Amino acid sequence: MIIKKSGIIIAFFIIIAVIGGVFIYEGQPSDVPGFTQTPTLSIKPGISSPKPSATQPSITNSATLSLKVPFTPQAPTGNWDQLHNEACEEASAIMAAAYFSGDTRTKIPATEVEEEITNLVNWQQNNFGYYLDTTAEETAEMIRGFYNLNAKIVADYTEKDIKDALNANKIPIIVAAGRKLGNPNYRQPGPIYHMLVVRGYTTTKIITNDPGTRNGESYLYSFTTLKNASADWDHTTDTIDESKSVMIVVSK
């Protein structure tokens, strides 16, 4: 009898164990120590579930761009004497340097410009022995020496060269035969030799800060006009050399 009772009890526990195993296998809740269910992700209201990150679009050049380059004419007080009549190189350098210094003003006050022109003239006198009609390379050397900025000469530049420089946060300075620019605001017939700052572009025009006129802020030229006016100063002939097409690209 004892053996039969023991067998019945053992059989009973075996049946209970089998039934419990089936419940566990089917994923039903269990109070068995050490058993935990797979946790589910809780999403808070208003927060979407994480999604795989998409590939970021590549940065492309915009159709228009205008850098905030402060403006000044080369004769900020309206005094067009010999010094200021030939101060387009200095004024262009001043505007480029002001931009890289973080100057966010629309215009540079005349008193500051006059002082800076004097400083640049003195630097040229000390380093070149003259200051009137400096070549593109000499102007670049002045920018490097006085402002400690990079200034690179780009020969035979294209419209793409100008736009690429601007999109890289660099400031081009165009060197030109001034009278070929055809700016009606110049004191006619206009300067023989001229420099101006490029600050941006539209879909059809190049945006400049032209120091040759008080109306030169954001003045628009076509690229063709700028390119056709290409020139550099030639100390040998003491006039412009229209066979040269150069620009100065200024950067930090």
pLDDT tens, residue by residue, 185-222: 999 999 999 999 999 999 999 999 999 999 999 999 99
pLDDT band at 62 (very low <50, low <70, confident <90, very high): confident
For the chain, percent of residues with pLDDT exceeding 90 = 75
Angstrom distances, CA of residue 182 to CA of 185, 191, 201, 226: 9, 10, 19, 10
> Which amino acid appears at position 106 of this protein?
T
Work out the pLDDT band at 22, boundaries 50, 70, 90: very low
Domain residue ranges of the chain, discontinuous segments joined by +: 65-251
CATH superfamily of the 65-251 domain: Cysteine proteinases (3.90.70.10)
| DSSP H helix total and E strand total for the chain | 7, 9
Query: Measuring CA to CA, which residue among 187, 186, 206 is closest to residue 197?
Result: 206
DSSP 178: G
Segment among 6-15, 51-60, 83-92, 143-152 with least mean pLDDT? 51-60
| Maximal CA-CA distance, the chain | 134
Reported as a pLDDT band with limits 50, 70 and 90, residue 61 is low
Q: Which of these ranges, 23-37, 108-122, 135-149, 228-242, has the smallest mean pLDDT?
A: 23-37
pLDDT band at residue 19 under the 50/70/90 scheme: very low
Report the mean per-residue pLDDT for the chain.
83
* Residue 100 CB coordination number (10 Å): 18
Name which of 82, 206, 204, 95 is nearest 143 in CA terms. Answer: 95
pLDDT digits (tens, 9 = 90+) for 153-189: 999 999 999 999 999 999 999 999 999 999 999 999 9
